[in-house]
């Protein structure tokens, strides 16, 4: 039986969500504030474009992690946080502590 503190997990998820949202907002400001043209130097242009691509990739990863956290919070509210979405068995306390937005038990995750 899982002895995980679900309310504690919920609080941690909400804190993590705020942190990630703030990080995403900072990245968005950096990617959107660039109104001036690229530098004339080709090497500097390449660096600027590479940095922009990195920021876009980070923004996409943050969006995905935020969606996972929102899904976990919804599962807590619905009462299904502890159960694997695939097989219905307990996800496992250690797994949820390590990855609080897990939706699959370790067996189902390994098969996926």
Percentage of the chain surpassing pLDDT 90?
60
Given this model, what pLDDT does residue 30 score?
A: 72
DSSP secondary structure of 44-78: HHHHHHHHHHHHHHHHHHHHHHHHHHHHHHHHHHH
Q: Residue 48 corresponds to which tokens in the numbers above?
A: 């600027």
Please write the tens of the pLDDT for every residue from 35-65. 556 556 666 656 666 677 888 889 999 999 9
- In the chain, what percentage of residues exceed pLDDT 70? 79
User: Over the stretch 9-26, which tens digit does the pLDDT of each residue have?
Assistant: 999 999 999 999 999 998
């Amino acid at each position: 039986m899982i002895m995980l503190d679900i309310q504690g997990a919920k609080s941690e998820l909400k804190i993590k969500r705020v942190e990630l949202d703030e990080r995403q907002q900072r990245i968005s400001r950096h990617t959107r504030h660039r109104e001036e043209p690229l530098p004339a130097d080709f090497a500097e242009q390449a660096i600027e474009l590479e940095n922009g691509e990195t920021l876009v990739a980070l923004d996409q990863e943050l969006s995905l992690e935020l969606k996972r956290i929102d899904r976990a919070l919804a599962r807590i509210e619905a009462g299904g946080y502890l159960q694997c979405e695939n097989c219905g068995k307990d996800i496992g306390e250690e797994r949820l502590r390590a990855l609080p937005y897990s939706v699959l038990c370790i067996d189902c995750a390994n098969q996926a």
